[in-house]
Amino acid sequence: MLMQCLIDLFVCLCVCVCVFSSSGLFASHYTEMHYREDGQTVMSTHNSTMNCYYHGEVQGYTHSDVSLSTCSGIRGFILLENKTLMVEPAFEPANDTHVIYEGHHLHFPSGTCGHGHNISTVSHMSAGGPPQSFSTRHKRDVQKTTKYVELIIVADNREFQKQGKDVEKVKQRLAEIANYVDKFYRVLNIRVALVGLEVWSDADKCAVTQDPFTTLHEFLDWRKLKLLPQRPHDNAQLISGVYFQGTTIGMAPIMSMCTAEQSGGIVMDHSDNPLGAAVTLAHELGHNFGMNHDTPERGCGCRMTVDRGGCIMTPSTGYPFPTVFSTCSKKDLVASLEKGVGMCLYNMPEVKMLYGGQKCGNGYIEEGEECDCGEPEECLNPCCNATTCTLKGDAVCAHGQCCEDCQLKPAGTPCRESSNSCDLPEFCTGTTPHCPANVYLHDGHACHNMDGYCYNGICQTHEQQCITLWGPGAKPAPGICFERVNSAGDPYGNCGKDSKGSFAKCQARDARCGKIQCQGGANRPVIGTNAVSIETNIPLQEGGRILCRGTHVYLGDDMPDPGLVLAGTKCAEGMICLNRQCQNVSVFGVHKCSGKCNGRGECNNKKNCHCEAHWAPPFCDRAGFGGSVDSGPMRQAADSSAVAVGALVTLLCLLSAGLIVCLKSKALVQMLCINKKSAIQKLRYSVCFPQISHHSSEPLLPPHNFHSLRRLPECPTRCQPVHISHPMPISGLQPHRTLVSHTHSPGRAAGFHTLPRQLPYANIQVSAVRLRYMSPCTRHPTLQKLISWK
């Protein structure tokens, strides 16, 4: 029986498995780092010339998956409908002898996620499904847009020792783990791209102990202060050789993807086979994405039964390893993405110099390729020649959201809508088939009708969190509830934990950054069976009481409290919660950044101006197509052409009207100037300025933004234009309003941005001599002899 099984497996491996290179696993800026015994850093890029990581499926088997590496022998797993098969070398170092066995024969201690066992839910999600977001604007379909997690994996010193102090062996193990995780997430349209590996070969760079809670926070602090500034990435995971206390084998914060403070996790390498650590890493990465545990009361659908491993987000793991996600995980992911979690994941990492060497047919456009639609037998792209990786016929492009029918979409075509009030849309540039990288409003920008401030692309408010915890109808409690309850410094009212692990009391000004206090909503918290209501009645001096409703979730000391106010929540006017303190939004520099946008745009997370539709980046100080240098233009060229034609027609009409007015004025003045009075009297009493009614509805300037229209109607020959930059009062004339001075840049349209649009001509203050207005009276021969005009 065993022999027949091995024969069947051999046939399956040799004949039926179709695998394709997963070289996109490694980004072009991928780096490896380890340390010498003296602590000196050694950094390098991998120079391997063979492509040894593969994903695929088994022909004839629906829902089958294959993930293999051939870097040192054949290693990996083959997932069939009713079993999981493991392949690995029989000896180390690897030779031609391999073993194939079913996944349930793996030996390792069972373990749980650090969020606790049999927890119905964790932070910010309801047991019945994803939370409802207050925002009504969502991306067109977050599931159809591929997301890319730029990942760094770090191995601690204990892991280095477990692998025989062999740096290359550790790196290969970490790369295998990443390859598995990439395979798990591909079905969710998420690619996990390694941008770096780091091995603490000399000593740990942060405290790594058996206490998983302390280790997690130490690692996240090190990542924020040391790793992130030096090597930009989206998420970092620590693979540890230390055995954590209890049954915990991993831990990560909830809904923290892309944040500088908490986008990461810790994983215990608990199995001889790297697949074990890969499953745990995928689980913790799921928490970063906002996925909850799969528990019976949630009614999750999983195509793998418990005896076959179940799904990845199950609270505890055993054998065989789970390798698929449940329906609950998919719903949680969509809800988080629509809320704004993972704003950094929409830019594709550079893959022009892929780890493992180039290969036409791997699905990635590399240097020297015009397109790549995969192997010829799987390519369905009508624009790309799969054999040569070149474009067909007159095709200009073959891939990307800005490519349609093998041609580039026009500049200004929307390619990614905003997902919430803190997100910004992106537009095709007309020069590339790819949509620009995702950008969002600068941290500290007001959002949600001024009720909140943007933070990491999300608009956090107390009201939103109360609805998440208590359901529709919930709202924040009065400030006195926050102050009284959170001044206790106990599990039910606090500002988090201090460095000693004790609950910290909230100062009065920080009270709204502690445990959230609500009113209304459901009778009990809607976030799961482990959450209970903590109600506090506060008597008022004038009589009566205020009911304050808080929550407490029994998750153990290693679980972040979902009842705490989220970072980035508005705690007062101009103030925001950071590190459990109510701090001024000026710490983000949002006002300074927005100041350079001239009041016609908003600052994005890259500190660039996102301009209104008719203004041009980078500073929104001249006419243009809107958008930013990051997002692409907001308007198409065709729109601007129509506007230009309209402006030209308007200009011609105005010039014609001005010419007629001037000609009529000339005839009228000449009639009035020819009389029997003396020359001086003629000068004194001649109507040298057209008298226009104060009640005229004629606008001062046409209501248009283009500076080409900023001129008065032209006068006849030898007339000089009226200079309105420095108005001079005329004796006896009492104007309503004075025009704003714009002497710095007379050629800019911005100077007229704040002018009143219905100011009549009669309100312009001019002076005949000082402003050199050449009245038609000066053409009278007698006057020309008597007066020398300047």
Q: What is the DSSP string of 647-662?
A: HHHHHHHHHHHHHHHH
- As a whole number of angstroms, the distance between CA 376 and CA 373 comes to 8
- As a whole number of angstroms, the distance between CA 429 and CA 412 comes to 6
pLDDT of 108 above 80: no
Which of 306, 300, 352 has the alpha carbon at shortest distance from 326?
300
pLDDT of residue 114: 59
- As a whole number of angstroms, the distance between CA 644 and CA 621 comes to 18
pLDDT of 653 above 80: no
Q: How far apart are the first and last CA of the chain?
A: 115
pLDDT of 570 above 90: yes
pLDDT of 545 above 70: yes
Lowest mean pLDDT among 494-498, 573-577, 748-752: 748-752
Prior bond of 562 cis (ω within 30°): no
Which amino acid makes up residue 95?
Answer: N
pLDDT of residue 366: 78
470, burial (CB in 10 Å: exposed 0-12, middle 13-18, buried 19+): buried
Q: What's the mean pLDDT in 627-656?
A: 71
Q: Which two three-digit tokens encode residue 148?
A: 């890319």
Q: What is the pLDDT of residues 204-221, one digit of tens each?
A: 999 999 989 889 989 999
Which residues in 456-544 belong to E strands, given as ranges? 458-460, 475-476, 518-519, 531-539
pLDDT of residue 34: 78
pLDDT of 703 above 70: no
How confident is residue 199, by pLDDT bands cut at 50, 70 and 90?
Answer: very high
How confident is residue 610, by pLDDT bands cut at 50, 70 and 90?
Answer: very high
pLDDT of 504 above 50: yes
DSSP structure string for 376-387: TTT---TTEETT
Handedness of CA 381, 387, 388, 393 (dihedral sign): negative
pLDDT of 524 above 90: no
DSSP structure string for 68-95: EE-BTB-EEEEE-SS-EEEEEESSSS--
476, burial (CB in 10 Å: exposed 0-12, middle 13-18, buried 19+): buried
DSSP SS3 for 593: helix
Count Cβ atoms below 10 Å from residue 460 Cβ, excluding itself: 25
pLDDT of residue 554: 67
55-74 b/e (C-beta count within 10 Å ≥ 16 → b): bbbbeebeebbbbbbebebb
Q: What's the mean pLDDT in 576-592?
A: 93
Lowest mean pLDDT among 61-75, 438-452, 672-686: 672-686
Q: What is the pLDDT of residues 245-278, one digit of tens each?
A: 888 899 998 888 999 988 999 999 998 889 999 9
pLDDT of residue 475: 96
- As a whole number of angstroms, the distance between CA 733 and CA 722 comes to 17
Output 44 or 443, whichever has higher pLDDT. Answer: 443
How confident is residue 24, by pLDDT bands cut at 50, 70 and 90?
Answer: low
- Count the residues in the chain: 790
Output 281 or 358, whichever has higher pLDDT. Answer: 281
Which residues pair with residue 149 across a beta bridge? Answer: 192
pLDDT of residue 208: 96
Q: Fill in the DSSP letter of residue 478.
A: P
pLDDT of residue 776: 43
- Supply the angle between the helices 327-339 and 274-289 in degrees, to the nearest 10: 50
Q: What is the pLDDT of residues 277-301, one digit of tens each?
A: 999 999 999 999 989 888 787 889 9
Which amino acid makes up residue 775?
Answer: S
Which residues in 62-221 belong to E strands, given as ranges? 65-69, 75-79, 84-89, 98-102, 111-113, 147-155, 190-199
How confident is residue 637, by pLDDT bands cut at 50, 70 and 90?
Answer: low
Q: What's the mean pLDDT in 187-198?
A: 90
Angstrom CA distances, 256 to 173, 262, 277, stand at 26, 6, 21
Question: Does residue 25 contact residue 150 with C-beta atoms inside 8 Å?
Answer: no
Q: What is the pLDDT of residues 692-702, one digit of tens each?
A: 444 444 444 34
666, burial (CB in 10 Å: exposed 0-12, middle 13-18, buried 19+): middle
Angstrom CA distances, 585 to 448, 476, 573, stand at 16, 21, 9
How confident is residue 782, by pLDDT bands cut at 50, 70 and 90?
Answer: very low
How high is the mean pLDDT of the chain? 76
Question: Does residue 78 contact residue 87 with C-beta atoms inside 8 Å?
Answer: yes
Output 704 or 506, whichever has higher pLDDT. Answer: 506
- As a whole number of angstroms, the distance between CA 706 and CA 521 comes to 52
DSSP SS3 for 396: coil
500: CB partners within 8 A, 6+ apart: none
Q: What's the mean pLDDT in 162-182?
A: 93
pLDDT of residue 29: 64
269: CB partners within 8 A, 6+ apart: 159, 162, 239, 240, 241, 276, 277
How confident is residue 778, by pLDDT bands cut at 50, 70 and 90?
Answer: very low
pLDDT of 717 above 50: no
- As a whole number of angstroms, the distance between CA 504 and CA 526 comes to 26
Q: From the annotation, which residues make up the binding site? A: 283, 287, 293
pLDDT of residue 135: 35
Place of tokens 């390798």: 323
Question: Does residue 553 contact residue 562 with C-beta atoms inside 8 Å?
Answer: yes
Phi, psi (rounded to 5 degrees) for 15 = -115, -40
Which amino acid makes up residue 455?
Answer: Y
Question: Does residue 765 contact residue 738 with C-beta atoms inside 8 Å?
Answer: yes
How confident is residue 351, by pLDDT bands cut at 50, 70 and 90?
Answer: low
pLDDT of residue 308: 78
3-class secondary structure per residue, 675-693: CCCCHHHHHHHCCCCCCCC
Claim: this prediction has a pTM higher than 0.85: no
pLDDT of residue 33: 79
pLDDT of residue 236: 97
pLDDT of residue 442: 95
Lowest mean pLDDT among 229-238, 457-466, 601-610, 676-685: 676-685
Q: Fill in the DSSP letter of residue 542.
A: T
Output 124 or 721, whichever has higher pLDDT. Answer: 721
Q: What is the pLDDT of residues 384-441, one digit of tens each?
A: 999 999 999 999 999 999 999 999 999 999 998 888 899 999 999 999 999 998 999 9
pLDDT of residue 93: 65
Domains detected in the chain: 2-346 (3.40.390.10), 446-588 (no CATH), 673-740+755-786 (no CATH)
DSSP structure string for 355-367: TT---TTSSS--T
- As a whole number of angstroms, the distance between CA 756 and CA 764 comes to 12
Q: Which two three-digit tokens encode residue 467?
A: 């609805």
Q: What is the pLDDT of residues 49-95, one digit of tens each?
A: 456 777 777 877 777 778 777 777 787 878 776 677 878 787 666 66
Prior bond of 633 cis (ω within 30°): no
Place of tokens 């995971």: 237
Q: What's the mean pLDDT in 655-671?
A: 69
How confident is residue 126, by pLDDT bands cut at 50, 70 and 90?
Answer: very low
- As a whole number of angstroms, the distance between CA 67 and CA 372 comes to 21
652: CB partners within 8 A, 6+ apart: none
Q: From the annotation, which residues make up the binding site for Zn(2+)? A: 283, 287, 293
pLDDT of 35 above 90: no
Count Cβ atoms below 10 Å from residue 652 Cβ, excluding itself: 10
pLDDT of residue 664: 67
pLDDT of 762 above 90: no
Q: Fill in the DSSP letter of residue 446.
A: E
DSSP structure string for 285-329: HHHHHTPPP--GGGT---SS-GGGT--TT-SEE-SSPP-S--HHH
Q: Which residues are catalytic?
A: 284
Give the chain's count of helices (H) and strands (E): 13, 33
Angstrom CA distances, 358 to 27, 28, 388, 675, stand at 12, 11, 13, 94
Prior bond of 716 cis (ω within 30°): no
pLDDT of residue 123: 33
Question: Does residue 129 contact residue 172 with C-beta atoms inside 8 Å?
Answer: no
How confident is residue 10, by pLDDT bands cut at 50, 70 and 90?
Answer: very low
Q: What percent of the chain has pLDDT over 90?
A: 39
DSSP structure string for 142-159: TTTS-EEEEEEEEE-HHH
